[in-house]
Amino acid sequence: MVGFVRRFDPSYVQAHADIEAGVIGQPFLVRSQTCDMNDPEGSFVRFAPTSGGIFMDCSVHDIDLARWMLGNPRATRAFASGTIVLHQGLAECGDVDNGLAIVEFEGGARAVFYASRTMAHGHETSTEVIGSAGMLSIASARTATGCRRAMRSACGTACWPTSSSASARLSSVRWTPSSPPVAALHRS
């Protein structure tokens, strides 16, 4: 049994409520990623023969979120590709340490997933939901200084706030054509 805990994270709950309220129009694309910090010893390589592969290990929550944000459609096709960047031992069981997948859903919606076991800077998750009238983005903490480009549009370039504090978490960014992006920075 897998507990889909991200459904209870306040930032994802808010994003789902915004979708249900029609804030971004009809959602049609979810881009989501889960990237684990690189383990130089590759302990997951020993687990790989029974793990189900990178998407079962790293993307199960992203897959659940995509279906939830899109109204729980049934997947009709999936395509995947991956590569081994650092952990050659994964080749023995047909696994990879970085993978991309595209899933097509009934009704025409799509999802793109990126999974990595090699992030040098640490664990990172993010999800974007793109709709016919805007987008929502939910991201994990950013520790770099500066800004991350959220959207380029007629109203200019929007920057998301970042923080050097590990306790700061960017919870969500909303953009619609009638309003500039709005970001909420929460401190725990």
What's the domain range around 165? Answer: 5-187
Query: For position 141, what pLDDT does the model report?
Result: 52
Q: Which residue has the higher pLDDT, 69 or 123?
A: 69
CA nearest to 42, candidates 103, 106, 85, 80: 85
Q: What pLDDT band is residue 2 in, cutting at 50, 70 and 90?
A: low
Query: For position 91, what pLDDT does the model report?
Result: 95
- Number of separate domains in the chain: 1
Q: Which two tokens stand for residue 36?
A: 């684990």
Asked if pLDDT for residue 170 goes beyond 80, the answer is no
| Residue carrying structure tokens 């994990």 | 140
Asked if pLDDT for residue 139 goes beyond 50, the answer is yes
pLDDT digits 0-9 by tens, 11-43 = 999 999 999 999 999 999 999 999 999 998 888
pLDDT digits 0-9 by tens, 37-60 = 999 888 888 888 888 899 988 899
pLDDT digits 0-9 by tens, 68-113 = 999 999 999 999 999 999 999 999 999 999 999 999 999 999 999 9
Query: For position 47, what pLDDT does the model report?
Result: 86
Q: Which two tokens stand for residue 82?
A: 């991956």
CATH of the domain at 166: 3.30.360.10
